[in-house]
Amino acid sequence: MSPSKERLDKSEALTKLRSYCNYRERCHKEVQDKLYDLGVWKKDSEEVIMHLMDENLLNEERYARSYVRGHFYNKDWGKGKIRYELKRRFLHDKLIEMAMMEIEEDDYSKSIEKLIEKKLRGLTGNKWNQQQQVAKYLQGKGYHFSDFRGILKTRLKL
């Protein structure tokens, strides 16, 4: 918060945060960061968060499930990257594991196959180099080598 900026009172903050949470799902950390940016006192921040939870505008389980679905089905992220990002947002491990069940194993395999095909279209050179580049690409997207090793070897006929 800049020194010249006035602090918001609790009711103003609650109004702003209602809009903020209605726009898309938020986790507690995002809401706390927003309250800090708005210059809301810590005591008031906790009360605003409680109000948002009571109004069901702030729900970590719903956030985690939405995050997993969105980042897997829309951004093609793997389980490793999704799990890492949720941990960065201080979600509990049990909540993360429950949300990860939103990803069907069949969809996970199909996603790996689709990404392998997409990456191989732009690659030339020997199969070993192609394998290395595809593996690096998939690992960057959050897929574990053990998840795609068999699919990649079959595709490259190694």
* 26 and 47 both lie in a single domain: yes
The mean pLDDT value for 149-154 works out to 95
Q: Is the pLDDT of residue 3 over 80?
A: no
pLDDT in tens, 11-48: 999 999 999 999 999 999 999 999 999 999 999 999 99
The answer to the question of residue 134 being in a domain is yes
Q: How crowded is the C-beta side of 13, counted as CA atoms within 13 Å?
A: 27
* 15 and 28 both lie in a single domain: yes
The answer to the question of residue 1 being in a domain is no
Look at the chain and count its residues.
158
Q: Is the pLDDT of residue 2 over 60?
A: no
Per-residue confidence (pLDDT) for residue 5, from 0 to 100: 67
Report the mean per-residue pLDDT for the chain: 95
In our burial notation (b when 16+ CB lie closer than 10 A, e otherwise), range 108-118 reads beebbeebbee
Per-residue confidence (pLDDT) for residue 8, from 0 to 100: 86
Task: Please report, in angstroms and rounded to a whole number, the separation of the first and last CA atoms in the chain.
Answer: 56
The mean pLDDT value for 121-143 works out to 96
Per-residue confidence (pLDDT) for residue 132, from 0 to 100: 97
**Cα–Cα distance between 107 and 100 in angstroms, integer?**
13
* 92 and 128 both lie in a single domain: no
The answer to whether the beta carbons of residues 147 and 78 sit under 8 Å apart is: yes
Number of domains in the chain: 3
Q: How far is CA 36 from CA 8, 14, 40, 81, 121, in A?
A: 10, 13, 6, 27, 46
Segments forming the whole domain that contains residue 50: 10-54
Per-residue confidence (pLDDT) for residue 6, from 0 to 100: 78
Q: How far is CA 44 from CA 23, 25, 31, 50, 125, in A?
A: 22, 21, 13, 10, 60
